[in-house]
Structure 1
Amino acid sequence: MALAIGKTFDQKAELSRGITRLKEFGIIEYLKTKDLFNATECLKPLSSSVTSGELRALDIVDFLGVFAIYATGISVAAAVFVLELTLGRRRAGRGREGREDTEDARRTAGKGEGGSART
């Protein structure tokens, strides 16, 4: 932890004494352990966990959450793909019919009434 202050800070000595008191009374250590989840394990040196043999190889059970997320993603993607195929065919059919209808309407409007369509 650090505290940035300027070189010309007037109360540097008082601040140093206050921080020293907090450290001596254990308040800083208490705040660290209270605010950090599992701080006692995190603050241990790395060599303590390596020599105790607590490390183990990952098992297939450790990856079940990852596999579940992956399978859900693949399932949703497949469902969306099938929906796009089915709904895309329906829309393509409607779009062709709609184009023919508008082309026929344009032809009949242009031929039938002479000059009234252009005014």
Structure 2
Amino acid sequence: MPWEPRGRAVRLVAGLWMVAAFLLGVVYRSNLKAMLIVQSITLPFDSIEELVEAGFPTAVVKDSSIHRDIMAADDEEILGRLRKQILVYGGKKVIEGIVNSLDGLHPCIGITTALQDIIQSDFSRLGRCRVYMMSNSFLGPLSLSFAFPKGSTLKHQVDPIIRGLRESGVLAKILSKSDFKATVCLKPISSSLISTNHRPLIFADLHGIITLYSVGKFSDAVFKYF
């Protein structure tokens, strides 16, 4: 060996450094290898604009609020441009449309809570995620409300209760609890094992192993000097 540590203290420091270098080297090498060999997929669309450009037939429920918005939109608007590629399912055909979407025959558009319930049921049945949701929603927040007859005295009594539940986060908690089993299915694909968030390696990915190497070389020089 070009350098043999002398003395117990020097050998102890050198031994600890070699063990640390081995462990960190294995960890960094494994992580970097995983970044290079992770399976890559290309999403056909991840926004309403990309869906329109792709031209995929898209399922909607007949007479739903989304269906009415699409039909009432101007031709120049993004929803109006989507009109020519929608597949309308009504009545008993709605189940058929859901099954076709789960089987990958076509995408579908719906209210987030309804789609989450479908994903939850499919995940509970199969134990895996078969579908993904666009990371960019396009209809914005949707209000959940109770309907009362005009002039009802109950409205003024119920409004403060609903407002309090919403502002305290209780409503959001109740809605999220129904999908606890399918939480992994609701994550963006970039956060799962199959990632589309590929990027070139940067210094931050390597600074640990470089620092370890630099400390080792510096210690080697110091020990040789003394």
| TM-score of the pair, normalised by structure 2 | 0.20
Q: Which has the higher helix share?
A: 1
| TM-score of the pair, normalised by structure 1 | 0.34
